[in-house]
Amino acid sequence: MLRSLERLFRSNYLFTLGVLICIFWILMAILAPVIAPYDPIVQDLSVMLQPPSKEHIFGTDNFGRDIFSRVIYGGRYSLLAGCLTVIIAGALGSLYGAIAGYVGGKVDNVMMRFSEMVLSFPSLILAMLINSVMGSSLFNTMFALVIVAWPTYARLMRSVVLSVKENEYIAAAEVLGASRMRILIKEIIPNSISSVLIMATTDLGNQILMFSTLSFLGLGSAPPTPEWGMMVSEGVDYFNKFWVAGFPGLAIFTMAIGANFIGDGMRDLLDPKLRKQF
Amino acid sequence: MKKRILALLLAGVMALGLCACGGGADEGEASAPAEGGNVVAIAMGSGFDTMDPGYCYEKYPALVINACYETLFKFYSNDGAAEPCLAETYAFSEDNMTLTITLRDSTFASGNPVTSEDVKFSLERVKNLKGNPSFITDTIASIDTPDEKTVVLNLTQPDSAILSKLTYSAMAILDSKVVIENGGTCAEDASTADTAQSYLDSTSAGSGMYVMTSYKPDEEIVMEKNPNYSGEATNVDKYVIKIQPDANTQMMTLAGGDIDIAMNLTKDTFAEVQGKDGIVTEAVASKTVSFLLMNMNEQYGGPVSDPLVQQAIRKAVDYAGIQAICGEGTTTPYSLIQTGFMGAKGERSTDYTNVEEAKALLAEAGYADGFEIDLTVCDLAMEGILLSDLAQKVKDDLAQIGITVNIVPQPWAAGYGDAYRDGTIGFTVMYWGIDYNDPNVQLEFMPGASVGLRAGWTAEMDPDLAALYNQAMEATDNDARTAILEQIQDGMYENGPFVMIAQAPVYLGYNDRLTGVEISDPYVVDVTLINVAE
């Protein structure tokens, strides 16, 4: 694994770039209080809408807040929301799919029809609905994203489990008298999880974009939180002051593309066959 | 090689694009004097779908109605009282329950004279159409026409705002003969029986300076001189109104000379055209006002229901800063009545803000260390200014005196609207647009009135102030009205659950070949005052 990872770094420059971008943003997010030159939420009306300069390298917004500091802090919310959504939705979805696939029969039927029901809603609309009913906060937005994202994982996991459970070692375990719970957890899930991992890495970029979209629409965290999507939305009113929406937009772009590069690379690493199919 | 061709092609396309843009800007005075005399092109916002005065309630139709029709009374300046227009003289009865109006001589575009029957028909039609603007006739019980030139309005209650109401677009006087010929009726069943709307959408039937000759919804309105106009006309022969709400398009077409007046500029686009050659800009406070609501009911308001805390917050808000955020032209009214209204006491001084005093007041109220509170804010914008932007500023200001504000966004449609109307929101920033151009609309903020109750402010809490409400409704003489309105403004200057924050600015840009262009609250722009400079 480690050696193939090394080979991947050498051969796949995009993957390397993706990793570097992500490490960059993670470092920025962790070290935000050290790096940021200003407090991201303190207003200073004497420097409203200043273009990038030595004092404010990304310029200032309509409250005179330093956009560079806000972008750095903003990484915390996007990264946190993206990663947590993928982890929670991935865990819930794959457990759900594994149970459905392994148990089979009527249970499978009912479980999968339910997940398809959720999936059949346009995801953005559903997320907006959940968010506006529950009120917008960071937690609620992540909750909405998880609700929308888990069925995809469930479907993928189920299809993998269906083929894995036909393997002879499963039959052997059954013959040996292992409980179904044990077979599910010790045999089936570990042997099916790799495709979920691939999907999770590719999905990370999507979730970050979804989160930004929701907060762009005013359904993310409450102002004055320095959240990227919200900063872009605040900036669109100032179309000839590119820096207000431009820099947070650039941050979303690099973060999403970095996550996608990693996803592609991981697909190469874990499942070369899958890549050829696409 | 292929790539190079592609790159060349791309470069070519971009160059063409640039030429096209440049060309648009160079065309120049496309609307300059044409063969048909002086033509003026206007760009204005959308949001309406009829030009039948009986249904006109939105902002922009008022511009057309004011040009094509006349009303009994009219606002000739933007900050005065209503003055007679079609009316020549008027008198209230002793008990203020009837208003007698004599009409001046005037003719409709059709050549018919304006008579008291036309007035009766027009006002009763608005009432019986039961459309959006029908509420404006609520205080009119019946209309008598003792002779051709006299109209007597019998009121249901003394209504000091009646003259202002009679200036409203919906109260425009229609040519009853023409409208009846085309399916109009003012009978009780007018809401179903009246079929004149399609006629009034194709042309106008009034006595105004212009006649509407074409109306394409969401596209264009054309108005031409009324040959039978009885007053003194301006030298503009034709108006072409483009319904084009996008601020950027308006800015560019104004700069290019394709349009003469742009009415929907924003703070940003306004700054772009400001100081450009040949363009005059104007930024004026509108009567749309934003305010802080602090619920008097302790159950909802918590600490902000305490009058001392309310006063502390009033002292802590940085009005100058808010004006800077909202943009040029923003004003903060002295009290509940916006600047520009008859009887308004002007602006609240920006040095009213005093953090030390605010802290002392907070300490006196028992919150020396401040407190934490939720500020609910909905997703609406006041004339392009997001309420959440105002909320962020308030949060920052209150942090100065130790109050920690947590902004809680709640969409209007997802509960905020209902909670606001039911008066269950504790602390919020909201805005208020006026229904008609009279200071009486602001009296709703008084204790016991509709907006007052949304802040849990009942008449029993401040009986002296509440009593002034009825007095203000009954006074019909302008001086008496002003005196009472001033008393009310003083009474609410440092008292009550509302803090009026800012009147949103409106921006206007126009070609300097025009004179007499001014922002008008009731008519957007009064086109009957515009001339082309010779």
- Rounded Cα–Cα distance for residues B392 and B343 (Å): 32
Identity of residue B310:
Q
Residue A64 is assigned to a structural domain of this protein: no
CA distance B304 to chain A (A): 21
The answer to whether residues B228 and B340 belong to one domain is no
pLDDT of residue B327: 87
CB contact under 8 A, B324 and A133: no
Q: Give the Cα separation of B197 and B129 in Å (integer).
A: 11
Give chain B's residues under pLDDT 70.
1-36
Residue A65: pLDDT over 70: yes
Number of domains chain B is built from: 2
What pLDDT, on a 0 to 100 scale, did the predictor assign at position B5? 54
Alpha-carbon distance A254 to A251, whole Å?
Answer: 5
Residue B236 lies in a domain: yes
Rounded Cα distance between B28 and B474, Å, is: 54
Residue B188: Cβ-neighbour burial (10 angstroms; 0-12, 13-18, 19+): exposed
- Residue A276 binned pLDDT confidence (cut-offs 50, 70, 90): very low
Q: How far is A32 from chain B (nearest CA, A)?
A: 22
Indicate whether B256 and B236 sit together in one domain. Answer: yes
Q: Are residues B435 and B517 in the same domain?
A: no
Instruction: Please give the mean pLDDT across all residues of chain A.
Output: 86
pLDDT at A136 over 90: no
Judge whether B313 lies within some domain. yes
Cβ distance A240 to B406 less than 8 Å, yes or no, reads: no
Give yes or no for residue A126 having a pLDDT over 50: yes
The radius of gyration of chain B's CA atoms, rounded to the nearest angstrom, is: 26
Both B427 and B374 in one domain: the answer is yes
Say whether pLDDT at A92 is over 50.
yes
Do B381 and B423 lie in a common domain?
Answer: yes
Q: Are residues B58 and B129 in the same domain?
A: yes
Domain containing A97 equals: 2-30+76-277
Residue range(s) defining the domain that contains residue B226: 39-278+512-532
Residues B305 and B408 in one domain: yes
pLDDT of residue B10: 53
A66, part of any domain? no
Residues in B closer than 8 angstroms to A241, CB to CB, are: 268
Q: Are residues B267 and B370 in the same domain?
A: no
Q: Determine, yes or no, domain membership for B13.
A: no
Residues 6+ apart with CB under 8 A from B112: B175, B177, B178
Backbone angles phi, psi at B186, to 5 degrees: -115, 15
Is B392 in the A-facing interface, judged by CB distances under 8 Å?
Answer: yes
pLDDT digit string (tens) for A171-208?
A: 888 888 888 888 888 888 888 888 888 888 888 888 88
| Distance of alpha carbon A69 from alpha carbon A58, whole angstroms | 9
B202 shares its domain with B274:
yes
Interface probe, candidates A42, A43, A225, A236, chain B, greatest B C-beta count within 10 A:
A43
Element (H, E) at B1: none
The interface predicted TM-score of the complex, written ipTM, equals 0.76
**Residue B358: which CATH number?**
3.10.105.10
| Binding-face residues of B in 302-341 toward A, CB within 8 A | 321, 324-325
Residue A145 lies in a domain: yes
Rounded to whole angstroms, the Cα distance separating B322 from B390 reads 7
> Are residues B232 and B288 both part of a single domain?
no
Cα(B85)–Cα(B64) distance, rounded to whole angstroms? 17
Taking an 8 Å cut-off on Cβ atoms, the answer to whether B268 and A136 are in contact is: no
CATH number at residue B247: 3.40.190.10
Minimum distance, in Å, between the CA of residue B415 and any CA atom of chain A = 8
Q: What is the pLDDT of residue B31?
A: 43
CA gap A38, B14 in Å, rounded: 40
Min CA distance, B412 vs chain A (Å)?
10
Residues of A with CB under 8 A from a CB of B: 42-43, 45, 48, 62-63, 132-133, 135-136, 218, 222-224, 234, 237-241
| Contacts by residues A21-27 (CB-CB < 8 Å, ≥ 24 positions apart) | A21/A254, A21/A255, A21/A257, A21/A258, A21/A261, A22/A255, A22/A258, A22/A259, A22/A262, A25/A75, A25/A79, A25/A251, A25/A254, A25/A255, A25/A258, A26/A75, A26/A79
Q: Looking at the 3D structure of chain A, how many domains does it have?
A: 1
Identify whether residues B229 and B174 lie together within a single domain: yes
In a domain, A38, yes or no: no
CATH number at residue A146: 1.10.3720.10
Query: pLDDT tens digits for A139-159?
Result: 888 888 999 899 999 999 999
Q: Does residue B267 belong to any structural domain of this protein?
A: yes
Question: Using CB atoms within 10 A of its CB, is residue B396 exposed (0-12), middle (13-18) or buried (19+)?
Answer: buried
Residue A36 confidence (pLDDT)? 87
Whether B9 is covered by a domain: the verdict is no
- Looking at the structure, do residues B134 and B273 belong to the same domain, yes or no? yes
